[in-house]
């Protein structure tokens, strides 16, 4: 429970010490700033700063008892209110960014190819989500399913697929001729935005790549856990030629 609460409080932009104070008040009830600073090894001024932040967000209350200030958590449902407000704020900013994106791209695009590298599971998740900006398009991918499941995890792939379907992105995918466990299989017959073929048994690979827009992204096997995106129209054309040759030879 502590880990889940910490994750939720972090999403509200609360620093670690504010999270600790809230968790302390939740578990042990109301107390003074002095007791909090002693229990959590925080300076008194720092404790008051974090208490002020928690009060501003409506997560704790302050009351006086015999000229002493005590702090306690407010209704825990206020966390839900804060999460809703945060979601609405992010949704508004995402809408503004989407409207501004065409103008930003005018300044950011160059004719020179750009290569961007990513490391670790978090980095590869960011790389995968870059595809979701290309709403309504068709993407092409050489996808060693079992290996990518090992690298990224089922939860990441399920969430990506849900968002891809919401964005109406058609995926044309080539898989190695391998057995996939039904239990771990996330693409099913109900997914009308997926065209899948299996390569010949002699064609095998452990690194996946995806062609979308003017980019090609690569994800390594679980042994290396890195990836990179190449932004280059010429490179996209070359990779599409390779993809189409294998696609036509696959079933």
Residue 166 lies in a domain: yes
Residue 129 lies in a domain: yes
Residue 182 lies in a domain: yes
Residue 187: what pLDDT?
58
Low-confidence ranges of the chain (pLDDT < 70): 1-3, 108-113, 179-191
Q: Based on the domain organization, do 124 and 168 belong to the same domain?
A: yes
Among residues 34, 58, 79, which one ends one of the domains? 79
Copy the structure tokens of residue 92: 């508004």
Residue 194: what pLDDT?
86
Q: Based on the domain organization, do 228 and 142 belong to the same domain?
A: yes
Residue 192: what pLDDT?
72
Q: Based on the domain organization, do 168 and 48 belong to the same domain?
A: no
Domains contained in the chain, number: 2
Residue 9 lies in a domain: yes
Q: pTM above the 0.85 mark?
A: no
Q: Based on the domain organization, do 41 and 135 belong to the same domain?
A: no
Residue 57 lies in a domain: yes
Q: What domain range is 48 assigned to? A: 2-79
Residue 29 lies in a domain: yes
Nearest residue to 130 via CA among 8, 219, 239: 219
Q: Based on the domain organization, do 120 and 235 belong to the same domain?
A: yes
Q: Based on the domain organization, do 64 and 135 belong to the same domain?
A: no
Q: Share the mean pLDDT of the chain.
A: 86
Residue 59 lies in a domain: yes
Q: What is the pLDDT of residues 59-115, one digit of tens each?
A: 999 988 888 899 998 888 888 888 888 888 888 888 888 888 778 777 766 556 689
Residue 141: what pLDDT?
95
Residue 50 lies in a domain: yes
Q: Based on the domain organization, do 182 and 59 belong to the same domain?
A: no
């Amino acid at each position: 429970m502590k880990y889940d609460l910490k994750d939720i409080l972090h999403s509200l932009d609360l620093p670690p010490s504010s999270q600790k104070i809230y968790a302390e008040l939740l578990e042990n009830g109301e107390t003074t700033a002095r007791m909090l600073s002693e229990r959590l090894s925080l300076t008194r001024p720092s404790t008051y700063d974090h208490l002020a932040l928690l009060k501003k967000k409506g997560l704790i209350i302050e009351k006086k008892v015999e000229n002493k200030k005590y702090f306690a958590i407010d209704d825990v449902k206020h966390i839900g209110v804060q999460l809703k407000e945060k979601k609405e704020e992010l949704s508004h900013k995402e809408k503004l960014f989407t409207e501004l994106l065409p103008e930003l791209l005018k300044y950011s695009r160059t004719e020179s190819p750009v290569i961007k590298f990513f490391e670790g599971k978090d980095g590869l998740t960011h790389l995968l989500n870059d595809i979701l900006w290309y709403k309504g398009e068709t993407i092409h991918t050489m996808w060693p399913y079992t290996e990518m499941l090992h690298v990224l995890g089922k939860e990441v792939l399920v969430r990506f697929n849900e968002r891809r379907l919401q964005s109406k992105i058609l995926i044309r995918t080539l898989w190695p001729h391998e057995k996939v466990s039904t239990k771990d299989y996330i693409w099913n017959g109900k997914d009308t935005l997926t065209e899948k073929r299996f390569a010949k048994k002699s064609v095998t690979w452990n690194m996946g790549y995806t062609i979308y827009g003017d980019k090609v992204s690569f994800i390594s096997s679980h042994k290396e856990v890195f990836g990179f995106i190449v932004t280059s129209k010429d490179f996209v054309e070359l990779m599409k030629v390779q993809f189409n040759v294998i696609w036509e030879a696959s079933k």
